[in-house]
Amino acid sequence: MRRTDDLVVVGAGPYGLSIAAHAAAAGLGVRVLGRPMASWRDHMPEGMYLKSEPWSSNLSAPGGRYTLADYCATRGLAAEHASPLPIATFSGYGLWFARHAGLPEVEETTVTEVTPQGDGFLVRTADGPPLLARTVALAVGVMPFTHYPEVLRGLPPGHYSHSSGHRDLSRFAGREVAVLGAGQAALETAALLAEAGARPCLVARRSRLNWNTVPQPLERPLARALREPHSGLGTGWRSWVWSELPWAVRRLPAPTRERIAATALGPAGAWWLRDRFERRVPALMGHRLSRAVAVGGGRTRLGLTTAAGESVVLDTAHVIAATGFAPRLDRLELLDARLRAALATVGDSGTPELSAGFESSWPGLFFAGLLTAPSFGPSMRFVHGAGFTAGRLVKGVRKRLGARGPLPGSSGASRPVRAAAGRPETYLR
């Protein structure tokens, strides 16, 4: 009889790995499918830095173990407040966490379909036989939701790309590149392009750029600490609420949650990037992209409109859209279409309405990460939200499994045993 796993986690980024660590510690039969830390390893240019503080960038394991500081200590690195860490260090941390935090070995495969099957789910992958799961947690990260301005979609594919599509920016050396956006991804991509010998130009609808200030010291006078408390998402009471009280955000009316998810913690550049950017990157602020046309020589002509209604033409060799991500269920193609259509959503956001345990309206189907921001608030857009998510989601899974009772062939609390390299894991009952 084919084994049915208690929980299949789809995705092996910070959220997926954290959920798996908590599930394994709870004695659940859990499998993790995906490339570990794929977004960080494959979709961020070399030379990028972690914007969040090291102490607010931990993956989550029971007991608060296996922190970023723990990893850095093993490598002789410093994880200090107000000292940015390279993305490569954070990627290495995630891989180290996967090896040491007690979760089963991650199965590096691509999930192609999740569909209802009896009292559980059938999970198909790009290779290997399909899996049966009593519950599924979708921690798919941001890559399914890359967002482009609509006017770019008429261009030939080679004329434009998303900022998440580049690991190496050196191929743009000597070429003009228009970077669209005003957030950290746009600003850092533009700065890295300039440092790689390209000629970037930032184009943004906003009239001015916002820059974060240098973080306040962790040790401060009491009055100042009470006036502007530190949190995982920044300094101040509003950031503290988003960071520390996601459960309270969930209790707000749906329209309020939608507005918070869409507007809180808007685009801003890191304080340590400002000088690098302003010295080398020209910016067209208050310019809206109105048209884009492919012209001779593989170049692109952008039609821009200023706030005063004036037309501006910008010719460039390539366009990089650093325009973020638009999380919506209808873009999650691996999830069965009929199941997607049946899910209750948060207002008009197109994201799933979730229980306190991150369970959707379809029993046994759980979500984590970006898609949960309209339910639990802005912290779900950041690594910091993994700490809140993992324990509560696993508690929700255990509650669902208890309500269903054992299924024939269930792995129950089976114990994973790693087989020889390159071979599937086996289970002892």
- pLDDT single digits (tens) 233-243: 888 999 899 89
Q: Which residue has the tokens 């004036």?
A: 310
Top CATH class, 150-211+268-321 = alpha beta
Written as one letter, the residue type at 377 is G
At 414 the pLDDT is 37
Can you give the pLDDT at residue 360?
Answer: 98
176-180 vs 4-10, strand pairing mode: unpaired
- Provide the pLDDT for residue 420: 30
The mean per-residue pLDDT over the stretch 262-290 comes to 95
Average pLDDT, the chain: 91
Q: Distance between CA 107 and CA 369 in Å, rounded? A: 20
- Contact of 278 with 286, CB cutoff 8 Å: no
Distance of CA 377 to the CA centre of its chain: 14
The reply to whether 150-211+268-321 shares the fold of 4-145+325-428 is yes
Nearest-angstrom CA–CA distance, 59 and 386? 6
**Which of the residue ranges 176-185, 215-224, 336-345 would you say has the lowest mean pLDDT?**
215-224
pLDDT, mean of residues 342-365: 96
- What pLDDT shows up at residue 2? 62
Would you list the domain boundaries of the chain?
4-145+325-428, 150-211+268-321
- Predicted TM-score (pTM) of this structure: 0.91
- Look at residue 424 in the predicted model and tell me its pLDDT: 30
Residue 197 has pLDDT above 90, yes or no: yes
CATH topology for 4-145+325-428? FAD/NAD(P)-binding domain (3.50.50)
Residue 404 is predicted with a pLDDT of 64
Of residues 259 and 218, which shows the higher confidence score? 259
* Residue 1 pLDDT level (bands cut at 50, 70, 90): very low
